[in-house]
Amino acid sequence: MTEKTSALSVQKIAILGAESSGKSQLAEALAHHYQTVWVPEYLREFVEKNGRVPQESDQLHIAQVQLQQEQHLLDKAHRWLFCDTTPLMTALYSRFYFKQVDAELLGLEQAHDYALTLVTAPDFPWIADGLQRESPEVRQRIHDNLVDTLDARGIPFVLVEGSLQQRLEQVKFTLDFLS
């Protein structure tokens, strides 16, 4: 094997979950453990840069930038690219908050092409951040919607629960099994 793994052999891992469920912590910890890179959630950057939550008209742009960042980091990844969210979550939030999904965003959502999908359980303490996070009740509803959506679309997933260390162990077990 070459020193740098080719982008063609890198497998993308989707890390999905509701607000304040530990997606970013898990993505960063997995990237560190596997000595690779991870794709941060663009939504967080968008909210910080704009000082507001996204409007319906922002949703497609957010999903497109998320995918662009995945593409950009694919060449820097080694074996795995851990993706802190995907357009599927953007579409899910669009349905939740705006009661519809832009047709182009729907297409991005349908193109869920990840080697593995992880779902973070909403069992971390909920932390308000002033803009992006609404409540523990909304977090649970989003989690339930996510699980229902994955089931309805026939997308297999691994639910990771517990502390960050427990989640790491669950994912390492799964990735070792897939290898």
Annotate 70-96 with DSSP letters as a single string: HHHHHTT-BSEEEEE--HHHHHHHHHH
Distances from the Cα of 13 to the Cαs of 57, 64, 88, 126, 140, in angstroms? 27, 18, 13, 24, 23
Question: Does position 105 have pLDDT exceeding 50, yes or no?
Answer: yes
pLDDT score of 6:
55
pLDDT score of 146:
98
pLDDT score of 129:
66
* Cα end-to-end span (Å), the chain: 15
CA 175 to chain CA mean position, Å: 17
| pTM for the structure as a whole | 0.92
CATH architecture for residues 7-178: 3-Layer(aba) Sandwich (3.40)
Q: Is 65 exposed, middle or buried (0-12, 13-18, 19+ CB in 10 A)?
A: middle
pLDDT score of 89:
97
Segment 23-30 mean pLDDT: 97
Task: Return all residues near 28 (Cβ < 8 A) that are at least 6 apart.
Answer: 38
Measure the CA–CA gap between 67 and 42, rounded to whole angstroms.
9
Measure the CA–CA gap between 111 and 109, rounded to whole angstroms.
5
> Is-contact 160 118, C-beta < 8 A?
yes
> Is-contact 13 116, C-beta < 8 A?
yes
Measure the CA–CA gap between 74 and 63, rounded to whole angstroms.
17
- 30-39, 45-54, 90-99, range with the lowest pLDDT: 45-54
Question: Does position 134 have pLDDT exceeding 80, yes or no?
Answer: no
Measure the CA–CA gap between 69 and 125, rounded to whole angstroms.
28
Query: Under DSSP, is residue 118 helix (H, G, I), strand (E, B) or coil?
Result: strand
